[in-house]
Structure 1
Amino acid sequence: MTEQQLPEGWKMVKFGDIAKHISKRVEPSETDLEVYVGLEHLDPDSLKIKRHGVPSDVSGQKLLAKKGQIIFGKRRAYQRKVAVADWDCICSAHAMVLEANSKNVIPEFLPFFMQSDVFMEKAVAVSEGSLSPTIKWKVLAEQKFVVPPLDKQMDLVKLYKVVTDAEEKSLTFYDAIHQLYRRLREKLISEITAKSKLSLGDIGFTFGGLQGKNASHFNEDGNAMYVSYMDVFSSQVISKGDFSRVMVSPGEAQNNVKTGDVFFTVSSETPQEVGMSSVLLTENLDRDLYLNSFCVGFRPDTNKVDIRFLAHYLRSSFFRKELRKLAQGITRYNISRKELMKCPINLPDISTQNFIAQKLDNAYDALNDAKNRSSVNGKLKIRVISDSLKV
């Protein structure tokens, strides 16, 4: 669409004309600021920062972000991480710090605009790199977008705030249910009294994920289904339909997974993400399913462990602390399959496992209901924002 075809008042602008890039570096050990915001502290499609760290958590130069400025995850933009700082803070160098150019855009409008599909799709498209695709400001600044006139922006901000308020209320409810579930999980698991501690290697064996983008199995329509790093990280239980589907070139079939398998993330840029786990709980897969790279599969002995119990236990603080002790690295954290099998697990008798699993399953079902409700409201918000920018 040319500028002549645009509705009255709408303009075609470069992103660098509506946003300013702020790049002031800070040494965490030398700052008086009390808040550190990493990419792991940002939630996809949410402008709110609900958790954070402190500067002493990190080393190496970070970025200074002032209250009201936008923190945008330039690495892995497909995660859709954009947030507005509520305080002066330092943030990850894998982010961009931006603020609105008030001559061309209302400051409150810009962060909502950056949540739109039109912006995110362009951001992902100009990202460079395969393992951790990253956006360069010089490239992003040159990208062209259509924006409404200032009076229209003001009206849209009011609309965005209404749908965002509905989303935030559902998220608040979800967070409350999540806290209750976690407290119940930690209480029940902390009360386990086992005669002896085992290691993961005592109750099952590992298998590796596919290496390379083209190592996948095919059906007749060319679709390969696999469990990805983000599938594992985002949910402790993976059910049918939750995994990724891609179009790739035919490769050798190997390492297909089964119901009851456990998946671990074994390579990450943060210790918080490494060793996250999911359990595949689905039946009657309509085609083979595979595990992608950067993950390790674990097949437990179901005579020794209740899979439902394991799904909850592996996300408990007790197990996560033990697992993080095995992570090695400075700029990237890794756990080998050999080290993973050494991780201790406090396993009660099978009847106790069944009892704990049933209690936690009930709470987890309530948590999923709340999550689905907030997801619907979140998708509605993004659709409203994206549709309002179509011309």
Structure 2
Amino acid sequence: MAKYRFDQIAINSTEKKKPVEEDRFTYLGLEHLDSGTLKVTRFGSEVAPIGEKLVMHKGDVLFGKRRAYQKKVAIAPFDGIFSAHGMVLRPKEDVIDKDFFPLFISSDYFLDAAIKISVGSLSPTINWRDLKKLEFELPDMDTQRKLAEVLWSINDTMEAYKRLISATDELVKSQFMEQFFYSEKYQLVPISSVVDRKIKKKKDISKDFEEIRYIDISSINNQSKRVTGYVEFPIDETPSRAQQVLEKGDILISTVRPNLQNIAVNPYSEENVVASTGFCVLRCEKCLPEYIWGVITSEAFTNAMCEQASGISYPAVRDSDILQYLIPDAPIEIQEQFAAFVRQSDKSKF
């Protein structure tokens, strides 16, 4: 295999424009890109984005250069504008096959090498001047074409499974609404009455720990609803927003842009995992986690939060808006029936 510098493989398009009103319909930000898929399923902004943005054309490969450890790569589905925190990449077709190119950019081989040259601590970013010097080995063009054909076939199969999983999730949501919200036999109570709000603060962390593991909005994949990682900081250098000490199983709800449903469950058992104040943390006390998860993933909850949100560019709700949301006060044994259904659904998805 031949070795090439990255600037021999790809063109980094730096064409920019200042958005006008109609550009908000074809805007893609990093928040619209999901790790693990080249497909874009969300786009647009409620208002015209502020500041210059990159011009993208249908078929361009979009790469999130900020917090690249999230591994966000996608193919532009239309002409439009893209976040300046990303790169718009195009293949040099004398070196790399155009169908193989997006698969190469989304590969661990490329991304792991790129992440190593990120600079900065809070929002590590990849600079083109460093990226263009990286060297990669590529197979010959015939091999690339054959690989692309096989890999795209695999990708199509994966996307089909994702659609099945999504359909299973919709079935769970439907079951939840049928069992609880469409029933009038349960009294309504605020979420605050069934969760523990005694969340420790960063200052309460044992002095034995030298580092903080920080989870913020960028740590969540809002498609899979999972925490994808954390950023480590020396305990005396953590961001001011790193305040809420988490326990394993805590449910995190972003209070910013509630329409995006940036929610997840903390998977870590360590005692030095801290969440941003941009999350409302729900720790189940008098209810089952599956039940609260059913609440916050429902369309009714999302719509209610969107109605309460204030702000234009980054509409947000308060913790109190979430905690005051009324839910059916279903007995634990009834919640357990729904939880069993969720667990069976999870087995099917697995």
Asked if 1:278 corresponds to 2:265, the answer is yes
Asked if 1:135 corresponds to 2:114, the answer is no
Distance 1:82 1:245 in 2: 19
Report the aligned-residue RMSD.
4.0
Distance 2:61 2:148 in 1: 16
Residues 47, 82 of structure 1: 8 Å contact kept: yes
Which residue type is aligned with residue 204 of structure 1? D
Aligned counterparts, 1:217-228, within 5 A:
228=215
Distance 1:104 1:132 in 2: 32
Query: Which residue in 2 is equivalent to 1:348?
Result: 328
Choose from 194, 204, 227 the match for 2:196: 204
Q: C-alpha deviations, 1:94-122, integer Å up to 9, x for none?
A: 22111111122111121111122221112
Aligned counterparts, 1:225-374, within 5 A:
228-229=215-216, 257-258=246-247, 261-265=250-254, 271-272=258-259, 276-278=263-265, 288-294=270-276, 295=279, 297-302=281-286, 305-323=287-305, 339-343=318-322, 344-351=324-331, 354-356=333-335, 358-359=337-338, 361-363=340-342, 365-367=344-346, 369-370=348-349, 372=350
Query: Which residue in 1 is equivalent to 2:49?
Result: 59
Which residue type is aligned with residue 278 of structure 1? V
When normalised by structure 2's length, the TM-score is: 0.76
Distance 1:163 1:141 in 2: 29
Q: 1:320 to 1:364 in 2, by over 3 A?
A: farther
Asked if 1:116 corresponds to 2:96, the answer is no
Residues 35, 72 of structure 2: 8 Å contact kept: yes
Query: Which residue in 2 is equivalent to 1:103?
Result: 94
Residues 62, 76 of structure 2: 8 Å contact kept: yes
Residues 70, 85 of structure 1: 8 Å contact kept: yes
How far off is 1:23 after superposition?
Answer: 2.6
Which residue type is aligned with residue 129 of structure 1? G
Distance 1:365 1:109 in 2: 38
Q: C-alpha deviations, 1:227-275, integer Å up to 9, x for none?
A: 844666569998xxx8969988789xx9865566444445x6x555586
Aligned counterparts, 1:148-159, within 5 A:
148-159=139-150
Which residue type is aligned with residue 263 of structure 2? M
Distance 2:121 2:63 in 1: 19
Residues 277, 315 of structure 1: 8 Å contact kept: no
Distance 2:194 2:166 in 1: 35
Which residue type is aligned with residue 153 of structure 1? Q
Aligned counterparts, 1:10-49, within 5 A:
10-31=1-22, 34-49=25-40
Distance 1:255 1:89 in 2: 38
Query: Which residue in 2 is equivalent to 1:79?
Result: 70
How far off is 1:25 after superposition?
Answer: 2.6
Question: Aligned to 1:99, what secondary structure does the other structure show?
Answer: strand
Q: 1:79 to 1:66 in 2, by over 3 A?
A: same
How far off is 1:204 after superposition?
Answer: 3.2
Identity of aligned residues (%): 24
Distance 2:254 2:44 in 1: 25
Question: Aligned to 2:290, what secondary structure does the other structure show?
Answer: helix
Aligned counterparts, 1:136-215, within 5 A:
136-188=127-179, 190-191=181-182, 193=184, 195-198=187-190, 200=192, 203-208=195-200, 210=202
Residues 37, 92 of structure 1: 8 Å contact kept: yes
**Count, aligned residues:** 337
When normalised by structure 1's length, the TM-score is: 0.69
How far off is 1:45 after superposition?
Answer: 2.2
In structure 1, stretches of 5+ residues that fail to align are 1-9, 373-391
Question: Aligned to 2:78, what secondary structure does the other structure show?
Answer: coil
Q: C-alpha deviations, 1:53-106, integer Å up to 9, x for none?
A: 335454224332211111111222111111112322333332211111112211
Q: C-alpha deviations, 1:187-237, integer Å up to 9, x for none?
A: 5454254655535278531425548xxx77869xx9x89684466656999
Question: Aligned to 1:350, what secondary structure does the other structure show?
Answer: coil
How far off is 1:346 after superposition?
Answer: 1.4
Residues 24, 46 of structure 2: 8 Å contact kept: no
Q: 1:226 to 1:324 in 2, by over 3 A?
A: farther
Q: 1:22 to 1:127 in 2, by over 3 A?
A: same
Residues 173, 294 of structure 2: 8 Å contact kept: no
In structure 2, stretches of 5+ residues that fail to align are 237-242
Q: 1:179 to 1:35 in 2, by over 3 A?
A: farther
